[in-house]
Structure formats: C-alpha cells, structure tokens
Homo-oligomer: A and B are copies of this chain.
Amino acid sequence: MRHQMFALLLLLPPVSGWGQSPDSTLQQSALARFRVEPLLQGLSQPVAMVFLPGGQALIAERNTATLSRWDGRSRDLVRIQDLPPIVIGEDAGIFDVILHPRFQDNGWIYLSYCDGIPERSTLAVDRFKLVRNRITGRERLFTANAYSEDLLHHGGRLAIRDSFLFITIGDRHHQDRAQELTNHAGTIARLHDDGRVPTDNPFVGRDNALPEIWSYGHRNPLGLVFHPTTGDLWSHEHGPLAGDELNLIRRGANYGWPVISYGWEYEGGPIGKGIVMQDGMEQPLWAWSMGIAPSGMLFYQGTAFPGWQGSLFSGAMSKRHLNRLEIRDGRVVLEERLMVRQWGRIRCVAEGPDGLVYICSDDGKILRLRPD
C-alpha cells in the first residue's frame, strides 16, 4: 500500500517543468556557461536534497530538524510529520537523507540525525517509509557509540550500494577517539541496509574493536558517495585549519587523524607532532588549498553539462563556492571554484532528474544551475 503512494508521485510532472526564475544570474566557468536560478528560499540551513521518482524532492533542513517534500511545479513545501525526536543546536540537527537504491520497490528512506540530549548526544540512523507525508515503519538502524557533551563534529553522511549502508561519524570534537576502535567517533561504519552488522567487516571478532567500523582516523566527514561506475567509495572531511581532505575509502584503512594532518589547530600551532605522513596511514588524494570546509558530494553524470560529466562536486562552506574536481587515473587533475562568494555557504549538491545541478545554500535557498 505504501508503494502505491509513490506510484501517485510518479504521475506528477517532471521537475524539468519548473519555471525559470527571473533572478537567475549568468555564470561563466571553464567548461560551462550557466545560469543560477533560485528555486526556493526561506529555508533554514538546507543540508540534504534527494529526488523522489516522479521528480519531487525531499529536503532536510539541518538546524530546524525538519524534513519536507517539495513539489517544484506547485511550489508547495509539505512538512513530513512524525519524525523522531532530534537534538538541535550548534552543529546538531539532521545530517543527511537518502533513498535506498531500490526505493521504487521497497520505499525505504534513510535519515541521520542527532540523538540523545544536548549534554550527551550522538549520531543515529533510522529508516522509514512515507505515507501521506507521514513517517511510518520507522526502524532504528544504528546508534553510534560516539557520545559527546557538546554538539560538534557529528559527520552523518550516508551512502548505500549493494545493500550495504555506509555512515560517516565525526570525531565529536574528541580527536584522540578517531584512532580508537572501541568507539565509533572518527570512523566510517558499514551495515547491511537493515542495520545488521556484516560478518565480513574488517574488525569483526577483533578484541577492543567495534564490528561496525569500516575505516577510521577521520575528523568530520561531511561527504560520502559511491562512484557511479567504478563503485569506489569516496569521502571528504573537514580537517582543522586548512586540513580538508579528499579520500578514497578502503576496507579497514586508517586515515590518520589526529596523528597526521595537512592542517593546523584553529588557534595556531601544529596538530600533535605536526607530521603529514606516517606508515600505515592513508594519504589523502587532495588537500584543498588553505581549506574550503567541504559539505555534500556528487559525481555528476548528467547530460545537461557534458563538460562536467564525471566531475566530483561539493559545497565549500568557508570559501563559499561550489567546488568541482576532475579525477583521472586516481589523481585529481583539475580543481575549479564556481560561484565564489556569490551565495550562502553551500551544504549540499544534487543532480536532478533533469540532469541539472541543484545546490543548497545556507542563506535558505535551493539553487539550480542551468546551461545558458
């Protein structure tokens, strides 16, 4: 019956029917000339956007912990009701929302958010279905053992492939925990899509290690995606000052935080011993020049921007731009900074069913990039 609701959504007009905003701004980039159309405004820190079959979208607002269904044609923004209790404040709230790859068959939606109480919070991941804009069948899949007395460095990005769910968990502002396997802080976890722990996870059966951990030594990863053709898992993470990293995530690997880092303490001074490489710890594939605070991640596959096919997009909160990387033979060969300081801080990037690029701007807007 739940699936019938989505069948109704499929009958709605596709997103490409949405009108062009008169506020659009012409942009010229290396490989594309495009306009930026503000499609929606008045949101509060939109952090994730995912398109439903039929072209409507779910939009999560971080610091108000709201989830809404947006119809680009009617412009209605309908609140999703019956969310779980969510801790808000500082960096807390909702962190991500994604669909199961077989969503059309099973209707599962995955949500990560801040659970607990403000003085003792952690990251939780639920899945649920939607019926008439209400959550139903909600199941708790994961409660991170990553509690903190403040509301910082949650991570919380989600990705699913081949029925495995991956979850980034920040170091919770307790950096030494990222090297410990007895808690989930500073790790990427891997679960079955129903929350069970896979028996082939790298630390299953090891003493003093949690079996959900897939990789560790992370600081605050706010981007996680599978490459659509190679199936590789990519993540980026906020380093300290100027230490943001792009990483290819491998089973059981240690990404080094806080032992090695290309960044500095915000108040000045080195991280630990101030070293950038060490045996047994992974090197990033890219360390952004002087830091950009990346959030959200997309391997663009659309045809609307042929020059951007295969590019890795992410928002950049500190430098306020849309970041584009080209990767060839496992190396970053091009970085482009688009729309620099023209909009709010960009927290998410999505590809629409129309092949256009959608971004969430911290000034409460959803923007769409359209070739000119």
* B334/A334 in contact, CB under 8 A: yes
Say how many copies of this protein the assembly contains: 2
Chain B residues closer than 8 Å to A331, beta-carbon distance: 337, 340
- Interface centre among A275, A289, A336, by most chain B C-beta atoms within 10 angstroms, is A289
Distance A360 CA – B327 CA, assembled complex (angstroms)? 26
> Considering only CB atoms, which chain B residue lies closest to A31 in the complex?
B30
Contacts A30-B326, A286-B289, A336-B333; A269 near B273 (Cβ below 8 A): yes
> Is residue A290 within 8 Å, beta carbon to beta carbon, of the partner chain?
yes
Q: Which residues does chain B contribute within 8 Å of A268, judged by CB atoms? A: 273-276
Residues of chain A from 241 to 289 with CB closer than 8 A to chain B in the complex: 241-242, 262, 264-265, 268-270, 273-276, 283-284, 286-289
Q: How far is the CB of A129 from chain B (nearest CB, A)?
A: 43
Contact of A332 among B241, B284, B337 (CB under 8 A): B337
- Check A340 against B333 for contact (C-beta < 8 Å): yes
Does A194 sit within 8 A of B, measured CB to CB? no
Partner of A337, one of B275, B283, B333: B333
Q: Which residues of B contact A262 (CB under 8 A)?
A: 242, 290
Contact of A289 among B241, B275, B332, B340 (CB under 8 A): B332
State A262–B335 Cα separation when bound (angstroms). 19
Return the contact of A276 from the options B30, B264, B273, B338 (Cβ within 8 A). B264
Q: A287 to chain B: which residues have CB within 8 Å?
A: 242, 289-290
Quick one: which of A326-368 are within 8 Å of B by CB? 326, 328-329, 331-338, 340
Q: Nearest CB to that of A321 among chain B residues?
A: B333
A271 to B271, CA, bound (A): 12
Contacts of A275 in B (CB 8 A): 264, 268-269
19 pairs across A/B with beta carbons < 8 Å?
A30-B326, A30-B334, A31-B31, A242-B287, A265-B274, A268-B274, A268-B275, A269-B273, A269-B274, A269-B275, A270-B270, A270-B274, A274-B274, A283-B290, A286-B290, A287-B289, A289-B289, A331-B340, A333-B337
